[in-house]
Structure 1
Amino acid sequence: MSYVFDLGNPATNANPFPEFARLRAEDPVHWSPAMKAWIVTRHADVKQVALNNQQISADRLTPFFRTNSEYQRGSIQSLVRYLNHWMVFRDPPDHTRLRRLFNKAFTPTAVENLRPNIEGIVAELIDGLDAKARRGETVDFIADFAYPLPASVIMDLLGVPRTDLDRVKVWSDDIALFIGTAQVAGNKYLRAESGARAMSDYFRGLVEARTTTPTADMISQLVLARDDRDALSTDEIIGTCILLLFAGHETTTNLIGNGFLYSMRNRDQWERLVADPSLADSAVEEYLRYDGPSGAFARVAAADIEMRGKTIREGQRVFAFMNSANRDPDAIDDPERFDIARPQNPHLTFGHGIHFCLGAPLARLESGIAALRLAERLPEVRLAGGEPEWHDSLILRGVKSLPVRLS
């Protein structure tokens, strides 16, 4: 077919769902010359890509770095050095070893123990929204709530001072240009290198401090894990800290922001939550499905693969779009309807198989508390601006800002 899918088109990026529907119907395994990758859009196929760890590799960085001119010039060394230790980019057995170490930190009990702190942060942020509104200042739901909530939670978990929130955001935004595969950002590799270098220097100082004087935080746990049989190197600890801080807030910010946006656009569903706060957890599952915080996951073919009559060649990139799979009518009943009480919701937003999102319980807890308390305390909140601007990203799916009126 002559049709070419391209998220670099701002209109498509703002609303890719009509294009996803067309691809699912006409060309579910689609080669996009614009993106130089295969686009997979059906629920069953996205699930298959997630499960195929023999022929499809999560290590999309190594082949990319080998052919990247900035890498060959030696100008993105920190980006290569630390991101290569992220377990999301590793295959077994490295992935298995790293995952085993971090599973202990994200057990249901460990996550539930974070509830009082999350409740406190949510209450504080809602108080801040109310105070800004009373002063007549513009309230931005993203900057004033959806971003600082998960960022504060993960910083507390790691043992990073909240006073460093602004610095961390600058570094994280720069790294996001690379991780999210931004389409149009200039100098994205050099900016991502700058962010990775600054964040690695920052965490190296914290790791050295915790090595001398351990405290009750995750960085200390990672340092102490050096004594286990699956000992971590210093670079692995630093790389993992960057991953946890980045992934621990970036996607949850988008989850809370996107869910809020569609709740405001579907006012009957917001009023339904206000009337019945017990729907908060179910609402979060619909936020995850309807327009989730991670639009796609990227893989690289480790061998030639046949899929729906197409041959994906070894070394070619594959983007499996969960946000398309989650609206596949073959898997989801009435998928275009936003329904916070949906009885069955087999979305793939957290992935599937060995790379299922480690932080899923924490993201669900944060978002559920946020939805519940917002509905209780700000039932009359409404959007105040026009159409939001979406981040330029193939992977990360979220809006840049959401001005709101509280009453």
Structure 2
Amino acid sequence: MSTAVPEITFDAFEPSERADPYPAYRRVRDAAALFPYEFGDVPVTLVTRYEECSTVLTSPDWGHGYSAGISPFRDATAAIPGSFVRMDPPEHGRYRKIVAKAFTPRTVAELVPVAGKVVDDLVDAAVSRGELDVLEDLAVPLAIAMIPVRLLGADPADGPRFREWQLAIARGSDPDSLLDEAAVAARGKAAVECMGHFAELIARKKRTPTPDLLSQLVSVSEDGEVLTEPEVIGMSLLTLVAGMETSINLIGSGILALLRNPDQLRILREHPELIGPALEEMLRYDAPTQFTIRVALTDTVVGGRQFRRGDGVVVLTASASRDDRVFADADAFDVTRYAGNQPARKHLGFSLGIHYCVGAPLARIEAEAAIGTLLARAPELRLATDALEYRPSLIHRGLAALPVTM
């Protein structure tokens, strides 16, 4: 079948498009479901539409291919044992089962009042000032309190260091060809320092276990097999980076979408019970993670095109979640889209399949607490400026700051 596509340029990854990459996604999505592209210096295929993205994410024909040595992509987590986001079955299943034993529904449920208390204190301080940076004064301290402090049992005084490490590693998850030398160096330095810090923390947990995820990871087993210390360190690092980046950016983009769509803000204020469906719409409309990568583990067909074992694709989940073949009025922000008896199709904000985000429940807890409380406590919430900047990362989409008046 012909792979010819109209002659358009995919420019969603250009700095000029950072504020709003969605028109660029639409152009390439309208042109083709499968679009040839060079990802850094790697020739791959962009998967742009919902059905094809869903197929790749859920089919056993697709994975990461690192252990088989067939991936054309740089392995961003090669030096981090236990980072199961890079793994394929059966290895992936073993690690995920172990994490699931430690990250139980009960563990997550116990975090709801903790998040509520943290948010209340942060919003109290903001109300007294009359202004707030949604990122630095709310989303970031909440993520620090919930993940390194509560989940991993770290010292609250180390919060700023965890944020610095997390930002550097998240930025470094983009292709090396798209990073400058300083970003690559910062990624390596942060990973070494952070893993060293976790090694010290794990040693303390072994001596004196505490009621947190890290202590459980140290002791939990699957069929009598426990995690090694490097594996626990790797999982802790993954929890820190992915967990913080997702929740922080979801809160920022969610508040921004509401403030830029006052009719939807009014609906949510009048019907606060819609906060759950509204969060799903935020994840569809402007997802914290814009894409993921996969490799054909065997010869296979997607969208009528033949892929050979080892072929790489970039799954544009953010584009798929704006696909108007699946979502009515897809570029509109609608807090009722996931409400009622016939909600919209599942968005790809947390991926699909075996790599569905294990931290999704926690991200929802944090975002619901932060956004729900802020709307309830600040009836006159307004953007303090229209001049907003995004961080340079491509995979992770997040604002650098979001100042508001209260």
The one-letter amino acid paired with 2:151 is: L
Which residue pairs with 1:380 in the alignment? 380
- Would you tell me which structure has more helix in proportion to its own residues? 1
Q: Kindly indicate whether the alpha-carbon contact (under 8 Å) linking 2:166 and 2:244 is maintained by their aligned counterparts in 1.
A: no
Name the stretch that deviates more: 232-241 or 389-398: 389-398
Deviation at 1:373, TM superposition (A): 0.7
Q: CA deviation at 1:66?
A: 9.4
Q: 1: distance between equivalents of 2:99 and 2:200?
A: 21
Which residue of structure 2 aligns with residue 57 of structure 1? 63
> What is aligned with 1:371?
371
In structure 1, the gaps of 5 or more residues are none
After superposition, the C-alpha distances for 1:191-226 in whole angstroms (9 at most, x for unaligned) are 211111000000000111111121211111111125
Contact 2:250–2:288, Cα closer than 8 Å, also in 1 = yes
How far has the Cα of 1:227 moved from its partner?
8.6
Change over 3 Å in CA distance of 1:306–1:65 after alignment to 2: closer
1:144 aligns to 2:142 (yes or no): no
Q: Normalised by the size of structure 1, how large is the TM-score?
A: 0.89
Partner of 1:102: 99
Task: Provide the rounded CA distance (Å) in 2 between the counterparts of 1:405 and 1:195.
Answer: 34
Matches within 5 A, 1:7-406: 7-33=12-38, 35=40, 36=42, 37-54=44-61, 56-59=62-65, 80-82=78-80, 84-133=81-130, 139-155=132-148, 156-181=150-175, 183-225=178-220, 229-342=224-337, 343=339, 344-345=343-344, 346-406=346-406
Cα distance change on mapping 1:111 and 1:259 into 2, 3 Å = same
Counterpart amino acid of residue 24 in structure 1: R
Q: CA deviation at 1:327?
A: 1.1
Local SS of the residue matching 1:80: coil
**One-letter code of the match for 1:47?**
S
Shift of 1:291: 0.6
SS class of match (2:231): helix
How big is the shift at 1:139? 3.1
> For 1:58 and 1:132, how far apart are their aligned partners in 2?
48
CA 1:12–1:307: 2 relative to 1, 3 Å: farther
Code of the residue aligned with 1:157 in structure 2: it is: L
Residue 225 of structure 2 aligns to a residue whose secondary structure is coil
Which whole-Å deviations, capped at 9, do the CAs of 1:341-399 have from their partners, x for residues lacking one? 11323211111111111111111122112221111101211111223222222311111
TM-score under structure 2 length normalisation: 0.90
CA 1:61 to 1:187, structure 2 compared with 1: closer, same or farther past 3 Å? farther
Distance in 1 of aligned mates of 2:293 and 2:381? 36
AA partner of residue 80 (structure 1): A
Equivalents in 2 of 1:296, 1:34: separation in Å? Answer: 12
Q: CA deviation at 1:62?
A: 8.5
**Distance change >3 Å, CA 324–CA 227, structure 1 → 2:** closer
Distance 2:198 2:258 in 1: 37
How far apart in 1 are the matches of 2:191 and 2:70?
A: 17
Q: Secondary structure at the match of 1:236?
A: helix
Residue 63 of structure 2 aligns with an amino acid whose one-letter code is S
CA deviation string 1:47-73 (max 9, x = no partner): 11101233x2235698699997xx9xx
Q: Among all aligned residue pairs of Structure 1 and Structure 2, give the percentage whose two residues are the same amino acid.
A: 34
Q: Aligned partner of 2:20: which letter? A: N
Cα deviation for residue 13 of structure 1 reads 2.6
| Conserved 8 A contact 1:6-1:34 | no
The CA deviation string for residues 318-341 of structure 1, in whole angstroms up to 9 with x for no partner, is 111111111111211221111111
The 8 Å contact of residues 60 and 300 in structure 1, kept in 2 or not, is answered as no
Q: Is the 8 A contact 2:71 2:310 kept in 1?
A: no
Deviation of the 1:274 alpha carbon: 1.7
> SS of 1:33's equivalent?
strand
Distance 1:10 1:213 in 2: 48
Please, which runs of 5 or more residues in structure 2 have no aligned partner?
A: 1-5
CA contact (8 A) 1:7 1:394 kept: no
SS of aligned partner of 1:160: coil
Name the Cα RMSD after superposition.
2.4
Amino acid at match of 1:164: D
Amino acid at match of 2:28: L
Q: CA deviation at 1:309?
A: 4.5
Counting matched residue pairs gives 392
CA distance in 1, matches of 2:309, 2:296: 5
Give the C-alpha shift of residue 86 in structure 1: 0.8
